[in-house]
Structure 1
C-alpha cells in the first residue's frame, strides 16, 4: 500500500508568457474556461471569488455524460507568484477526498515562465493518476493557448 506522500501529484511546465500572463489564465474565469480540463471537455461556467477564503465553482461537461462540478476555496492568492486552493468534486467518487492544489510561477526569462503544480494527498493511486492525466491535458491546452497569443 502506498504511503500518503506517494499519493501527491507534481508537474512542471515551461510556458510562453510572463508570470502575469500565466496567472491571468489561471484565475480569470473567461480565460480559465478556454483551456481547463481534459481533452474533449468544455467548461460552461466558472464562478470565482479570487481572495483567500473566497470560493470557486467550475462546471465541467465531458464529451459524453452528465455535467459535474468542481468546488473549493482559495487559500493563497499571490498574483503572478502563487495560487493555492482546495479541490473537491460535488458528489465525489467514493475514492475521492478533498485535496489542495498549489500552483507556483517562476521566471525562465522575460517571455517564458515555469508553472509548478503540486496536488494531494489523494486517497488512491488510481485517483492520483486520473488527476495527472487531466492536468497534463489541460496544461497542454494552456500551453497551446499561450503560444498562439504570441503570433
Structure 2
C-alpha cells in the first residue's frame, strides 16, 4: 500500500520531486519500471493508457513509449538510459535519442531511486530535472505531482 507523499526540497528551480513510501519491495517496483509488459499496465494515470513500450535496459539503451490520451491523441516519448543500478536507481533522459543523437528539444532527465528503509518499507523518489525553468513550470502545470503520484499508486496496485 502506498503511504502519503513526503515533501522533499528540490535542488534547483528546474526540478520536481515526488517521494513516496510503500510496503512493496523495491525489487517489484523496479521490475514495474524495467519490464515493458508491466510498465504498459501502470505508466500513465487512467484514463490515459500506454500503448507501446520498448526497453533496452543498459546505459545508452533506449526507452520508447507511446501514451494515448482519452481523446485518442498519441504522445511518443524516446530517451536513453544513463545509469542503471538494479533495484536501486534508474537515470534516463530525453536529452539524447538512440545512438546518442542529441535531442534538439530536450525536456527532462529523470532520476528514480528505491531505498530500503529500516522499517522494511521502500522509499521511492522520482526527480525530474528539467533543461529549463520554463520546461519545469510546464511539467508542473501538466500535473506532475498528481500524475506521477497516481501512476505510482497504479504501479503499487499492480505489483502488490
- Please say whether Structure 1 and Structure 2 have the same fold, judged by a TM-score greater than 0.5: yes
Structure 1, unaligned runs of 5 or more: 91-95
1:20 match: 27
**Contact in 2 for aligned 1:8/1:128 (Cα 8 Å):** no
**Contact in 1 for aligned 2:79/2:92 (Cα 8 Å):** yes
1:126 match: 138
TM score, norm. by length of structure 2: 0.76
**Contact in 1 for aligned 2:111/2:128 (Cα 8 Å):** yes
**Contact in 2 for aligned 1:35/1:138 (Cα 8 Å):** yes
TM score, norm. by length of structure 1: 0.81
1:141 match: 154
**Contact in 2 for aligned 1:84/1:100 (Cα 8 Å):** yes
2:77 match: 70
Question: Which 10-residue stretch deviates more, 108-117 or 16-25?
Answer: 108-117
**Contact in 1 for aligned 2:113/2:124 (Cα 8 Å):** yes
Moved over 3 A (4+): none
Question: Which 10-residue stretch deviates more, 79-88 or 132-141?
Answer: 132-141
Give the number of equivalent residue pairs: 138
**Contact in 2 for aligned 1:17/1:111 (Cα 8 Å):** no
Structure 2, unaligned runs of 5 or more: 1-10, 98-104
Other structure's SS at 1:6 match: coil
